[in-house]
Every structure is written in structure tokens, then in C-alpha cells.
Amino acid sequence: MNKITFVTAVLALTLLMGCSDSGSSNAVDNTAGSTNGTGTADAVTTASIVDNEAAFRHTLSKDGTWIAAALRDLTFTDELVVDGQFVHNGGPARKIALYTQDEDQSITNSFTLTAPRLTVRSENTRLEGGIYIGDVYVEADGFTIISATVRGNIYFANKQYLSTFKLGDQGMVSGSTKIK
């Protein structure tokens, strides 16, 4: 195993350990899934740790997972869409993790996600860690930014989505936040 493969494997395992169920609100629920209205799980909600654009795009889709965790900077020339409903800790949730962490859940590396547009259609989506460069279009309740920077604008489809927006600890937006 070469050094890059080994380091990537260690980082991936570290991120998974940090997302393991330790009683914290950030624990991954490996048993719950999105439902199709009949109570049948449509998707498993385990973490998807990715190091390439195609895998990251799939992870954000309705066929993806509740958490998309990047292992490097990712750049897209077209729109990214966060879609589908996933369950975590008994409620709807999605997470875009632009960082790796150690066993103490301290951020060890942050990454940049670049796309001209990020459309959020999944309820309670969190952008966490790192930097997103581009505009965000929110079409769901509960969009939150935690320890991350958005270098662009955030547009909300209506007042309801804006009223449920949270700018958490160390979250920053360089542009405007408004209804559009």
C-alpha cells in the first residue's frame, strides 16, 4: 500500500470514528433510512466519504446518504443538488462535511467545495466545516451553516425557509441572505 492510499484510509477511518454513535447529536444513525411513505427504507443513511466529484454528486442525490464527507477540495462547473429525505437521530437531516477530524472530533483538515450553484431541497441540511464557493438556493426548512464559510449569496425560495435558517458557531456568509 502506497503512502497516499494509507493516509487516505487513515483519514477515512478517523472521520468514521468521529461519526460513530457516541451519544452526541452528530452521531451517524446506521439503521434508519429515508422512507417512501410506507415506512419502508429507500436509502441507508451511513456516511459516504468521498474523494472525487462523481461520488460526491451521487452522495448528495436522493439515492445518496445522509452525510457527504469530502476528503479533498472538490470543484464543479455545474449545479449541485442536495435532494431526498433522510433520517438521522429520529428526524430528517442531511450533512455536507467539508473536513476530516481526529478521534476527539477536532477538525484536522478543511476543504473547499466550488460550484456555481448549490440547491438544497433536503430538510435540515447542514453545511459544516470548510468553505463553499458559489451561491446557495434553499428550497427546504432548516438549512444551517456550522463552522463553515459560504463565499456567495444564499437565496431562499420563501419566507418560511429563511425563518428556519441558522448561522451556527463560526458560520459565515460573505454575500447576502434574502428571498428570491
Contact 113, 135 (CB under 8 A): no
- Domain span holding position 162: 3-21+31-179
pLDDT in tens, 103-146: 999 999 999 999 999 999 999 999 999 999 999 999 999 999 99
Q: Rounded distance, CA 106 to CA 78, Å?
A: 32
Ordered DSSP codes for 106-151: -EEEE-EEEEEEEEE-STTEEEESSEEEEEEEE-SS--EEES-EEE
Phi, psi of 4 (to 5 degrees): -65, -45
pLDDT in tens, 9-52: 444 444 444 443 333 333 333 333 434 333 434 444 456 899 99
Residue 35 lies in a domain: yes
Which distant-in-sequence residues (6+ apart) come within 8 Å of 149 by Cβ? 130, 131, 132, 171, 172, 173, 174
Residue 26 lies in a domain: no
A 10 A CB-CB count for 80 gives 25
The total number of structural domains in the chain stands at 1
Residue 64 lies in a domain: yes
pLDDT in tens, 52-83: 999 999 999 999 999 999 999 999 999 999 99
Give the global pTM: 0.76
Residue 11 lies in a domain: yes
Q: Rounded distance, CA 85 to CA 61, Å?
A: 10
Give the pLDDT of residue 80. Answer: 98
Q: Is the pLDDT of residue 172 over 90?
A: yes
